Amino acid sequence: MDALVDRFTDFLVVEKGLSLNTLEAYTRDLTRYLLFLKRKGVSNISDSDTVHILRYLIALHKEGLSARSRARQVVTLRGFYRFLNDEGILKANPALMIDIPKWLQNLPDFLQLDEVEKLLAAPDRKTPLGMRDSAMLELLYAAGLRVSELITIRSQAINIDAGFVKILGKGSKERIVPVGFTALKQIEEYLKTARGRLLKGRKSAYLFVNRSGNCLTRQGFWKLLKRYAAKVNIEKNVYPHTLRHSFATHLIERGADLRSVQTMLGHVDIATTQIYTHVARERLKEIHAKYHPRG
């Protein structure tokens, strides 16, 4: 179970870009929970269920843990079990029915449009790697992909003529996402010139490849993304999910309906997508405060 915690924290660093303090808090929460399971005779995470989680939360209450601290534990456990379910380690998510208090749900970080444009222009497209990176960044933002979806896209999944990409998302659920002209043009140019130079005669089923002819790792893509963000002086903590959040926020801000955004993101529950309406409202408040004479 300790190895699973390590995999989960690695995921939080790469995909979520969490700070060291937050990671330490997650690790403490999970260590405490796993010790509780071991005391109850549960040595394999697949043997745990919703009842164990509820009993754990009751035990924390009896120990005098505050409501806020217990709520943070719920966030940790929901994230951990969701990760295990998405990775295929667990067939079901026993924490799915455990609600997170609304006051604890944070608004996602996203980039303003000018910041996105600077980031997308950062790679040096005169080199094969720069052309690849440019195409990847464009597609990540154009289709609102998860980083795991981006790095594992197969070559046949992109249809340049029709203007869409076929994505195999969480739980092996397939979705079709439209892709704009700019991203398609970058991908087409990468396919015609850079991909073959990177493969050097090797064959690969993946659309985006590294110098070895393999797909990039999540960690590898995260590192190059941070490098490009630093290159164009974006001070925010940019991670792959930031562009996914930006994709959804910018669509909602410009009038896209929630159901369409839900479909493109691959969210099972529209409640997950609704967070972006809050982001848009917060953005409108900022604009009003900045530009209204009595803001």
pLDDT digits (tens, 9 = 90+) for 18-64: 777 888 888 999 999 999 999 999 989 999 998 899 889 888 888 88
- What local confidence, expressed as pLDDT, does residue 189 receive? 96
DSSP string, 176-240: EEE--HHHHHHHHHIIIIIHHHHHTT---SBSS--TTSSPPPHHHHHHHHHHHHHHTT--S---H
> Of the residues 33, 56, 141, 276, which is catalytic?
276
Computed over every residue of the chain, the mean pLDDT equals 86
Examine the residue annotation and report whether 170 is marked as an active-site residue of this protein. yes
Q: Which amino acid is at 124?
A: D
97: how many CB neighbours lie within 10 A of its CB?
10
Domain spans in the chain, listed from the N-terminal domain onward: 2-104, 113-286
Given the residues 72, 241, 245, 250, the one annotated as active site: 241
Separation between Cα atoms, residue 208 and residue 147, nearest integer Å: 12
Yes or no: say if 49 and 91 are a contact pair by the CB < 8 Å rule.
Answer: no
Q: Give the tens place of pLDDT for each residue, 145-188.
A: 999 999 999 999 999 999 999 998 877 788 999 999 999 999 99
User: Amino acid letter at 56?
Assistant: Y
Cross-strand pairs, 234:
none
- Rounded Cα distance between 293 and 177, Å, is 41
In the sheet where 164-168 sits, what is the strand order? Answer: 158-159, 164-168, 174-178
Give the C-alpha separation, 217 to 148, whole Å.
8
Cβ atoms of 210 and 216 within 8 Å: the answer is: yes
Residue 67: the pLDDT is 77
> Is the model's pLDDT at 289 over the cut of 60?
yes
Catalytic residue among 52, 146, 195, 218: 146
Active-site residue, 78 included: no
Q: What is the CATH number of domain 113-286?
A: 1.10.443.10
Catalytic residue among 32, 170, 226, 278: 170
- CATH of the structural domain 2-104, one choice from 3.40.50.2300, 3.40.50.300, 1.10.10.10, 1.10.150.130: 1.10.150.130
What pLDDT, on the 0 to 100 scale, is given for residue 4?
87
**Residue 138 is which amino acid?**
E
The answer to whether 238 and 225 have CB atoms below 8 angstroms apart is yes
Cα–Cα distance measured from residue 226 to residue 216, given in angstroms and rounded to the nearest whole number: 15
DSSP 8-state symbol, 44: S
Q: Which residue has the higher pLDDT, 135 or 106?
A: 135
33 among known catalytic residues: no
What is the predicted pLDDT for the residue at 243?
A: 92
Is pLDDT of 96 > 90?
Answer: no
Whole-prediction pTM: 0.65
The answer to whether 278 is a known catalytic residue is: no
Query: In terms of residues, how long is the chain?
Result: 295
**Residue 140 belongs to what H/E stretch?**
helix 128-143
pLDDT (average), residues 247-274:
82
Question: Among the options 78, 132, 195, 244, which is catalytic?
Answer: 244
